[in-house]
Amino acid sequence: QFNISFALTDEGIQYNEEIVEMLFDYIALIKQNTASLPRLYQDKSTLMDIACDNQEFGRMLDWVNSISVNMQQYEEEVFLYGDYIMDGFS
């Protein structure tokens, strides 16, 4: 299971059908190359670790809000970095 979301600019909205088509082309490409998925997963995990280690904290209110959401989704030990955790490839 996975979720995909897009945040499009006004210009991007003009190309929404092409964007959705590219998305499905990309999914088909992934299906054809399943042998590389563990490596891609590890690459993504490494990038998430780097992103977590280099977070920029903007407004305190936004940061506190993020932690409060994490408190509903993750165990106490990972409240501060729950969004960055990749639990394992299955």
24-63 pLDDT per residue, tens? 999 998 889 889 888 888 999 999 889 888 887 778 888 8
| Mean pLDDT confidence for 16-22 | 95
- Quickly list H helices, 33-59: 37-53
Q: What pLDDT sits at residue 20?
A: 95
Q: CA-to-CA distance for 30 and 39, rounded, in angstroms?
A: 12
Average model confidence (pLDDT) for the chain? Answer: 87
62 burial level (CB within 10 Å; 0-12, 13-18, 19+) = exposed
What is the count of structural domains for the chain? Answer: 2
Residues 26 and 42 in one domain: no
- For residue 15, the enclosing domain spans 1-32
Task: Give tens-digit pLDDT for 57-90.
Answer: 778 888 888 889 999 989 998 888 888 888 777 6
Q: What pLDDT sits at residue 8?
A: 92
Q: CA-to-CA distance for 16 and 11, rounded, in angstroms?
A: 9
Q: What is the pTM (predicted TM-score) of this model?
A: 0.56
Token reading at 20: 């959705």
Residues 19 and 42 in one domain: no
Residues 42 and 79 in one domain: yes
Residue 6's pLDDT band (cuts 50, 70, 90): confident
Residues 11 and 26 in one domain: yes
- Quickly list H helices, the chain: 10-13, 16-32, 37-53, 60-73
Residues 62 and 81 in one domain: yes
Q: CA-to-CA distance for 68 and 31, rounded, in angstroms?
A: 36
Q: First vs last Cα of the chain: how many Å apart?
A: 11
Residues 48 and 80 in one domain: yes
